[in-house]
A and B are shown apart, each in its own frame.
Chain A
Amino acid sequence: MKKRGKITFFVVFALIVLLAYTAIAGISTRYGDVENIIIKGVDSIRWGIDIRGGVDVTFTPPADVEATDDEMSAAESVIKQRLVSQNITDSEVYTDYQNDRIIVRFPWKEGESDFNPENAIKELGETAELTFREGNSTDGTGAPSGTTATNIILTGSDVKSAKAGQTSGQSGSSAQFVVQLELNDSGKEKFSEATAKLAPSNGIISIWLDDQMISYPNVKDHITDGIATISGNFDAESAKELADKINAGALPFALTADNYNTINPTLGLDAKDAMVLAGGIALLLVCLYMIIVYRLPGAVASIALVGQTAGAIAAISGYFAPFPSFTLTLPGIAGIVLAIGMGVDANVITAERIKEELRSGKSVNAALQSGYKRAFSAIFDGNITVIIVAIILMGAFGPPASMFATLLKPIFQFFPSAITGSIYSFGYTLLVGVIMNFVMGMGASRLMLKSVSKFKCFGSKWLYGGKKDEE
Chain B
Amino acid sequence: MKSNMNIVAKRKIFFTISLAIVAVTILVSVIFGVKRDIQFTGGAIITYSYQGELDKSAFESEMKAALDGQHLNLQYSQNSATGKQNVVVSLPNSGSISIDKVSSIQSMLDQKFAANELTQESIDSVDPTMGGEFFLKCIAAVVFAAVLMILFIALRFRKIGGWSAGVMAVVALLHDVIMVFAVFTLCRIPLNDNFIAVVLTILGYSINDTIVIYDRIRENTQLHRSMPVAERVNLSINQSFVRTMNTTITTVMAMSVVCIVALIFNVTTILTFAFPMIVGMISGVYSSLCISGPLWVVWQEHKAKKKAEAAKAPKAKKKK
Contacts and interface: CB of A to CB of B under 8 A. Distances in A.
Interface class of chain B by DSSP = helix
A263 B258 CA distance: 22
Given A282-B254, A331-B197, A381 B156 contact: yes
Interface string A281-309: 11101100110010000000000000000
A278 B96 contact: no
Contacts of B96: 258-259
Contacts of B106: 118
A266 B47 CA distance: 13
B252 interface: yes
Nearest to A340: B254
A390 B204 contact: yes
B208 A345 contact: yes
Interface stretch (B12-20, B67-75, B141-149, B298-306): B141-149
B152 interface: yes
A416 B133 contact: yes
B261 interface: yes
A381 B215 contact: yes
Contacts of A122: 99-100
A233 interface: no
A416 B102 contact: no
Nearest to A116: B103
Interface in B236-266: 239, 242-243, 246-247, 249-255, 257-258, 260-262, 264-265
A146 B47 CA distance: 48
B125 A289 contact: no
Interface stretch (B52-60, B114-122, B181-189, B226-234): B114-122
Interface in A372-390: 377-378, 381-390
Given A285-B253, A290-B250, A423-B197, A334 B133 contact: no
Given A118-B99, A270-B265, A415-B137, A393 B211 contact: no
Contact of A334 (B120, B242, B270): B270
A259 B127 contact: yes
Contact of A418 (B95, B100, B134, B145): B134
B273 interface: yes
A191 interface: no
Contact of B258 (A118, A257, A278, A387): A278
Contacts of B291: none
Contacts of A121: 99
Given A258-B126, A342-B205, A388 B152 contact: yes
Interface string A384-400: 11111110110111000
Contact of A382 (B196, B208, B267): B208
B9 interface: no
A363 B152 CA distance: 36
B111 interface: no
B138 interface: yes
Which of B106, B209, B212, B274 has most A Cβ within 10 Å?
B212
A426 interface: yes
B123 interface: yes
Interface of B: 39, 47, 49, 79, 81-82, 95-96, 98-100, 102-103, 106, 119-127, 130-131, 133-134, 136-138, 140-141, 144-145, 148-149, 152, 156, 193-194, 196-197, 200-201, 203-205, 207-209, 211-212, 215, 239, 242-243, 246-247, 249-255, 257-258, 260-262, 264-265, 267, 269-270, 273-274, 277
3 closest residue pairs by CB, A with B: A341-B254, A341-B251, A389-B204
11 contacts: A118-B103, A261-B125, A271-B267, A348-B243, A349-B243, A377-B215, A384-B152, A385-B152, A385-B208, A411-B144, A422-B193
